[in-house]
């Protein structure tokens, strides 16, 4: 996997061609830097001319993203980026459009638009930076903050139950759902490549550390000692295996109930041998029902799945819209303004 800022084969652009002349203003140490860097590295590989790439964002620390990309960009209003991006794609279906949003922007104020853009399957890539906090407004709890969280607005702990972006996306009928994390650059880049390659709405949740207001929210997933046991990396066609060397574990489904079993390298069945329930849980990213079960995996009992949970081929909104336009134009002929204005019935008043 290429991580160097070298010109890609097609387009001849490099990472720095995608950096704008604006000074990046996130807090030092913010996870947003790593995401920006990953995006700027992946874009040159795609061979898409810069002028055809657009970043649309809402409001939040994360949503400052477009200012730092030397492409077209639009920093819009809180929560509405999916709607604006949909309008943009309808105006010009040839564009490659990214939506950058946060856990507050995308799931609180903009939850409705997120649900509907996923349902329509508009050809966009949505990057949801989940830091489980409202960064820009200086640290209130968000819809993804864990219950009991003490923040400025919840001095006695939050009583809201959090929601999980991935389950929201699956529930809304998303055709591509992935999860990745700011600290794992190769995984982040690979996930981005997969997301852009998907036709339809690609929903990518990116765990992002806000070192000012919610530092260490994902530490167990990134710390050397804990991460191997805490994360299961999804690989299509491969069993769900995790854990430190020597303590490898795998997941198995007993009916609809997942369970952790010891794993011997190379095996496709439980270490204790093929019981009545058959073998290990093998990841199939084309199976929506399995994706739903994956999304239910939660620490501490279960590892957190990272990678592409779902990648389905599904009818895409913009293409269907344009196809309808083409079909109507074909059957009715190109619009005849004079005929339209006349309508079905006319009468004439003459000069006499």
Ligand X SMILES: Cc1ncc(C[n+]2csc(CCOP(=O)(O)OP(=O)(O)O)c2C)c(N)n1
Q: Is 181 in the site for another protein (CB under 8 A)?
A: no
Q: Tell me how far apart the alpha carbons of residues 27 and 29 are, in angstroms, rounded to a whole number.
A: 6
CB of 76 to Mg ion, least distance (A): 17
Q: Is the dihedral of CA 311, 193, 295, 110 positive or negative?
A: negative
**CA 160 remoteness from chain centre:** 24
Q: Which is nearer to ligand SF4, 222 or 267 (CB)?
A: 222
| Candidate list 102, 239, 243, 305; residue touching ligand X; CB under 6 A | 102
Question: In this structure, is the dihedral angle defined by the CA atoms of residues 254, 255, 257 and 263, taken in order, positive or negative?
Answer: positive
Closer CB to ligand X, 137 or 226, in the complex: 137
Q: Which stretch binds another protein (CB under 8 A): 266-274, 277-285, 292-300, 327-335?
A: 327-335
| 60 is a site residue for ligand X (CB under 6 A) | yes
Token duo for residue 233:
């990396």
- d(CA 110, CA 125) in angstroms, rounded, equals 16
Residue 95, Cβ neighbours under 10 Å: how many?
A: 20
> Which CB, 166 or 302, lies closer to Mg ion?
166
Give the nearest distance from C-beta 189 to Mg ion in angstroms.
Answer: 22
Three-class DSSP category at 261:
strand
Supply the minimum distance, in Å, between the C-beta of residue 75 and ligand SF4.
15
Nearer to ligand X (CB atom), residue 144 or residue 184: 144
Structure tokens at 215: 């530092």
Q: Which of residues 126-155 bind Mg ion (CB under 5 A)?
A: 131
Give the nearer residue to another protein in terms of CB position, either 153 or 329: 329
Give the H/E segment covering residue 90: helix 81-91
Name which of another protein, ligand X, Mg ion, none residue 136 binds, using a CB cut-off of 5 to 8 Å depending on partner kind: ligand X
Cβ-based nearer residue to ligand X, 35 or 291? 35
Residue 174 CA neighbour count, 13 Å, CB half: 30
133 binds ligand X (CB under 6 A): yes
User: Which of 141, 145, 217 lies closest to 182 in space, CA to CA?
Assistant: 217
Question: Using the rule CB under 6 A, which residue among 37, 142, 201, 222 binds ligand X?
Answer: 142
Beta bridge partners of 231: 304
Chain positions 267 to 306 lying near another protein, rule: CB under 8 A, are: none
> Per rule CB under 6 A, is residue 59 in the interface with ligand X?
yes
Query: Does the protein bind ligand X through residue 131 (CB under 6 A)?
Result: yes
Cα angle 10-16-17, degrees, rounded to a multiple of 5: 55
Using CB positions, name the residue nearest to Mg ion. Answer: 102
State the residues that interact with ligand X by CB under 6 A. Answer: 59-62, 78, 102-105, 129, 131, 133-137, 142
């Amino acid at each position: 996997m290429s991580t160097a800022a070298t010109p890609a084969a097609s387009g001849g652009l490099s990472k720095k061609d995608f950096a704008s002349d604006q000074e990046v203003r996130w807090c030092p140490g913010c996870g947003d830097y790593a995401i920006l860097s990953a995006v700027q590295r992946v874009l040159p590989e795609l061979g898409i001319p810069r002028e055809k790439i657009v970043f649309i964002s809402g409001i939040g620390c994360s949503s400052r993203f477009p200012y730092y990309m030397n492409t077209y960009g639009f920093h819009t209003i809180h929560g509405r980026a999916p709607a604006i991006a949909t309008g943009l794609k309808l105006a010009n279906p040839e564009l490659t459009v990214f939506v950058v949003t946060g856990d507050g922007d995308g799931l609180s104020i903009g939850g409705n638009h997120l649900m509907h853009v996923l349902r329509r399957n508009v050809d966009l890539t949505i990057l949801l930076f989940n830091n489980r906090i409202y960064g820009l407004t200086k640290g209130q709890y968000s819809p993804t903050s864990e219950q009991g969280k003490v923040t400025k607005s919840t001095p006695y702990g939050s009583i809201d139950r959090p929601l999980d972006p991935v389950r929201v996306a699956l529930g809304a009928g998303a055709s591509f759902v992935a999860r990745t994390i700011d600290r794992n650059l190769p995984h982040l880049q690979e996930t981005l490549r997969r997301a852009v390659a998907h036709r339809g709405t690609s929903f990518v949740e990116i765990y992002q550390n806000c070192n000012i207001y919610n530092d260490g929210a994902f530490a167990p997933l990134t710390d050397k000692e804990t991460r191997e046991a805490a994360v299961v990396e999804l690989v299509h066609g491969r069993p769900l295996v995790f854990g430190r060397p020597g303590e490898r574990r795998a997941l198995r489904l007993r009916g609809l109930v997942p369970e952790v079993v010891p794993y011997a390298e190379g095996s496709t069945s439980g270490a204790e041998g093929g019981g009545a329930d058959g073998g290990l849980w093998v990841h199939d990213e084309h199976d929506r029902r399995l994706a739903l079960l994956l999304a239910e995996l939660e620490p501490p009992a279960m590892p957190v799945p990272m990678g592409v949970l779902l990648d389905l081929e599904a009818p895409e909104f913009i293409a269907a819209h344009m196809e309808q336009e083409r079909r109507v134009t074909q059957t009715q002929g190109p619009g005849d303004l004079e005929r339209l204005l006349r309508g079905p019935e006319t009468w004439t008043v003459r000069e006499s």
